[in-house]
Each structure stands twice: as structure tokens, then as C-alpha cells.
Amino acid sequence: MPLYLDSHATTPLDPRVLEAMMPYLTDRFGNAASTTHSFGHEAAEAVARARAQVAAATGAQPDDVVFTSGATEALNLAIKGTAEAARGGGHIVTCVAEHPAVLDACARMERAGVRVTRLPIEPDGSLSPARVAAALEDDTFLAAIMQANNEIGTIHDIASIAALCAERGVPLLTDATQSAGKIPLRMEEWGVRMAALSAHKVYGPKGVGALIVRRSGRPRLRLTPQIDGGGHERGLRSGTLNVPGIVGLGAALEIAEAERETEAARLGALRDRLRARLFGELDALEENGTAPAKLAHNLNVAFHFVDSAALLNAVPQVAVSTGSACSSAEPEPSHVILALGHGEEHARCSVRFGLHRFTTPEDIEQAASLVIAAVRELRGHSGLYGAT
């Protein structure tokens, strides 16, 4: 069985999450909006419990949680919804290393007349809160900055960024897809107005996520719904609720929060072990994203003189990736690696490793051995390696 080290793309479903979901996939099949009978009441109660679990994991209130099909939909609702509510024009501040769901939504709003500032990142992958604050203008109606990067794992200081945005009366949206359940997020305490997340990045099911929208703050947050038809989720996201998925999202976040600190320590040690093997037995390597604050399960490495696609083909026993799963169909090099200041050649030799809850020390040793052997083999056929 292949070794799975691509948890930034998706994570395995935790059996405990599946156990929580099963009743709502079988006997408890009611529609949460059909509250004229016990089946609907049962479903509505399950959704309410999940709403409280999501709120507790993100430092928000249950009424702030809007269930969606995933983080991509949540981010689109947040960006397009605030832009449309601003009634044209205005200004958004974001970052060049954001997920395509943010960058593409901002680009669409730009074509509709909104000005967009895309902030650069430092060579280590960090983003200064002061840089965000300096970019805010009088007509800025939204700042969209991710909490942790999906390719290089660097963590931004969202608490400081939110505070600086609040001083200027600008709502902060953070993409917490990679960070939820892995590092703290305290929306109320920090002043974060919106956050997006997906269940399948935190050992839950695919096809469900949430946009947390804190209405209690200044200025008042206005969103134009992007899906009409029934007025579900406070009118922000119409459609029959995915009750089993929502139950799974709540359970997944509750488990992740309970185990967050011990799991981060375990995965950090395994990640360091993988890094030590690779850098100890191979030369011409470079780590992408070296900022001090980094997700414990992330390692992104440039294997110079090796094409990353060729390396992935050479190690079919190890499931890793070359970048964002949402842009893997595109032949272009990673925009995140390019944003670090590297060229296309560097980007095309970079590989992302993503450890997960079920990764073992044996998995790390086996994966390291396979990758090291493949790199040596590929470099042996390269006319460039050893010639410089």
C-alpha cells in the first residue's frame, strides 16, 4: 500500500468521525429544515451540536457558523459577498501566496471594478503585519490573509494582522483551511471577522466546510448571498444542509482540538526526522518556507537537478505532491514558490510532504529511503548534476 504523505491535499477520514456520521447516513436521515416532525428535529439538533463544535474550535459563537460545501465556497461567499455588498468599487488587500480560491475570487472582483493589492511575502515565506497595515486605504472593505500556507506551511501572525485591520475598521478574512485543528484560532479574542475551513483537511469528510462570520463587530459586516433559494443559514447560503457531513465536520474539529498539542509535537518530530534523513544523505537540497512559525506536519523541499514530476513518477509507493491540489491540473510552476523569489527551475524541482495523524516513524523511514534512492538514480542520468 502506498505511503500517504499528501495531507495538505486531503486527510484520511478518522474512524471516530465516521462513527459519529453513520447514524445520519442511515436511520437518522431527516432534513434539518423539516422541523414539523421528529426526523427533522433530530437532524436539526445534530446540526446545532456541530455548529457549537465548530464555534468552539475557532473561538466564535455558534450563530456565527455558516455551513458550506467547503472552504472554496466559503472564501467565494466572503470575498464576492462583501464586494457586492460594498456596491461596486472599493479595495481588497490580500497576499500573492494565497490559495487560488482567494486569488481567483479577487481577480473576478477586480474585473468588476474592485481594486486589489496583492502583498509580497518574504524569502522565508513570512508576511509582516505592518505590511498589511500599510496597504490599507480609506476605501478598503476587506483584507484576506490566510493563517497558514497550504504549500510551504508558514504561519502568519493573524492576531496582530486582525488587530491592525480593526484599528482601520477593515474586516479580516482568514483562510483557516490548513490551520484549523492544528494551531489555535481565536476569532473573537483576536478580532478576526471571517474564517473559512474544510472538513476534509482535518480528518473529516469531503464536501462540507464552513464560513464563520462574526456579525458582532465594527464596522457591521454585510454579505450578499451567492446561492439563493430557501434562505438557509441565516439567508447566506441556501440549500438543504448536508447533515452527515456537518456532523462529521463538528466531530473532526472537536477531536483535532482535543489532540492538537500532542499531535503537533509528534508530527513535528517526524517531520524533523524526515528532513534530517533527506538533508543528511543528499546534497543540493533547499527547504522552501523557513519562517520560524510553521505547521508541524509540513516539509517542502527543492531537489535541485531533479524534475519534481519525474521524482513523483519514480516513487509511486509514496504519495506526495508538487503543490496545491486545487491547481495540480495546471502545468504552471507553483505561484507560492515563485513568490519566495525563486525561478521556475527551482519551483519545478520542489516537492511537498504532508504528514498526518496516522503517519508512523516506519512510514517516514521508508519514504525517506525511497525518495533518496530515486533522487540519486535520477541525478545519475542528469548531465547537469556534478557538472557545476
Q: Over the stretch 68-93, which tens digit does the pLDDT of each residue have?
A: 999 999 999 999 999 999 887 899 99
Is residue 326 flagged as an active site residue?
Answer: yes
The lowest-confidence range among 101-115, 313-327, 366-380 is 313-327
Whether the pLDDT of residue 140 is over 90: the answer is yes
The predicted structure's pLDDT at residue 207: 98
Domain coordinates in residue numbering, the chain: 3-9+260-380, 15-254
Class of domain 3-9+260-380: alpha beta
Percent of the chain scoring above 90 in pLDDT: 85
pLDDT band, residue 330 (cuts 50/70/90): low
Whether the pLDDT of residue 328 is over 50: the answer is no
What is d(CA 328, CA 87) in angstroms, rounded to the nearest whole number?
34
* Inter-residue contact 50 to 255 (CB < 8 Å): no
For residue 358, what are the CA distances in angstroms to 7, 267, 377?
10, 10, 29
Average pLDDT for 317-335: 74
Q: What is the pLDDT of residues 26-76, one digit of tens each?
A: 999 998 888 889 998 999 999 999 999 999 999 999 999 999 999 999 999
pTM: 0.95
Whether the pLDDT of residue 235 is over 80: the answer is no
Q: Which of 166, 276, 176, 263 is nearest to 218 (CA)?
A: 166
Which of the following is catalytic: 95, 106, 165, 326? 326
What is d(CA 184, CA 179) in angstroms, rounded to the nearest whole number?
8
| Sheet strands (E) in the chain | 3-4, 65-68, 91-95, 115-119, 140-144, 172-175, 194-198, 209-213, 285-287, 298-303, 318-319, 350-354
* C-alpha cell recorded at residue 35: 422541523
Q: 50-81 burial, b if ≥16 CB within 10 A, otherwise e? A: bbebbbebbbbbeebbbbbbbbbbbbbbbbbb
The predicted structure's pLDDT at residue 388: 56
CATH number of 15-254: 3.40.640.10
The predicted structure's pLDDT at residue 120: 98
Percent of the chain scoring above 70 in pLDDT: 97
